[in-house]
Amino acid sequence: MPNQFQIIFLGRILPGHTPEQVRENVAKRLGLSTANQEALFSGRRAVLKRGLDFATADTLREEYARLGMKIHVEPEQAPAPVAKAQAEDDFDILPPIDDAELASEAPSATPSAAPLFTTTAPARAPTPAVVVDAGIEEMTCPSCNTRQAKRTLCRSCGIDMPRFLAGQQQAERDARAERAAAANQRRVLPVRRTERRPERERVRAPVHKTDQALLFGVDFKGRFSRSGYLVSSLLSVCVMSLAVVATVHIGFAAFVIGLILMLVQGVRATILRLHDTGQSGYMALLLLVPGLGSLFSLALVFWPGDVVANRYGEAPEPAPLPLQLALFIVTVVVVAFAFTQAENSSYLSTGNTTTWSAPSDR
């Protein structure tokens, strides 16, 4: 019967169980007496079941394993050629699994017949060759590398082989995922640092450190903020208005001087304002275009400048708000006064005056 299997117990227990606990569990499960327990755990070879197919034998092995018993499933073999009477009397006598394993263990008591198993002394008959069915699928335990028929619990170390393999595979997948995440992080982090930096900081022109430009002057170095450009323009208007007033009393030379100062100051303010936006001062030539020059000057009042240093210098400080308000009021007053003086001068130059004469006596 090459496809019949038997369940063998040698008195061994699985790791994690105590002998007392296993004895108690087996006694409750199989209903054994004290004598039968001593016989079962005496270390002799005990056949628990015979004539089983592999699936049934493996199921029973797992059931006994849950009780803590280390069970072996072996194919049933034909009895050795002995006398007929001896074969009938020793039907349950089987050769030992390992004679060296049993040599160190002496039998403790004479076994008693049990309803579910029989215990026998080791036989000296030659061990026949074990014939393995080619249809049985085999596997190797991932923990102890024991070759055995495919099953759930290893017959050598008792681990759950499918769960052990699944745990190893999951650990490998987690390790691969961690390595991939670390590699992606190393590739992404430099890009993120580059994206956080402003464009002007990534490609920065050489900076010429200069002091803050004066609101009124003749040099063309530095930068004007929007408020500084507005204040400088108001100063130019005040200078021209005062020149008009001086022209009334001094002459045309005062008007020429005031006009030159206003033009120089206006061009200077435009160039410094262009520097603040990072543009070249040559764009101030747009002021010469009729119509477009006025729009260009107005646009510079609202055009934001660079918040960091550029090639024309450090970022300028905005003009104080009180200064802007005060200069605006002064400009309005000076312009109004200049218009008044100009009108009076024009009125006097036309000769529209009346002289008072005393009445004549008649």
Q: Which sequence spans correspond to the domains of the chain? A: 5-136, 226-348
Alpha helices (H) in the chain, listed in sequence order: 19-30, 34-40, 54-66, 84-89, 99-103, 161-196, 199-202, 226-249, 252-276, 292-302, 321-349
Q: For residues 155 and 151, give the distance between their C-alpha atoms in angstroms, rounded to a whole number.
A: 9
Of 317, 109, 360, nearest to 226 (Cα)? Answer: 317
Span 277-294, mean pLDDT?
Answer: 83
pLDDT of 115 strictly over 50: no
**Whole-number average pLDDT of the chain:** 73
Q: For residues 119 and 10, give the distance between their C-alpha atoms in angstroms, rounded to a whole number.
A: 10
| Range with top average pLDDT, 8-17, 101-110, 209-218 | 8-17
- Whether the model clears a pTM of 0.75, i.e. scores above it, the answer is no
pLDDT value of residue 174: 92
pLDDT of 297 strictly over 50: yes
pLDDT of 228 strictly over 70: yes
Between 257 and 132, residue with greater pLDDT: 257
Span 289-314, mean pLDDT?
Answer: 83
Q: For residues 51 and 46, give the distance between their C-alpha atoms in angstroms, rounded to a whole number.
A: 15
pLDDT value of residue 94: 39
Span 100-121, mean pLDDT?
Answer: 41
Residue % of the chain over a pLDDT of 90: 2
Q: Residue 78 — pLDDT band, cuts 50, 70, 90?
A: low
Between 349 and 278, residue with greater pLDDT: 278
pLDDT of 118 strictly over 50: no
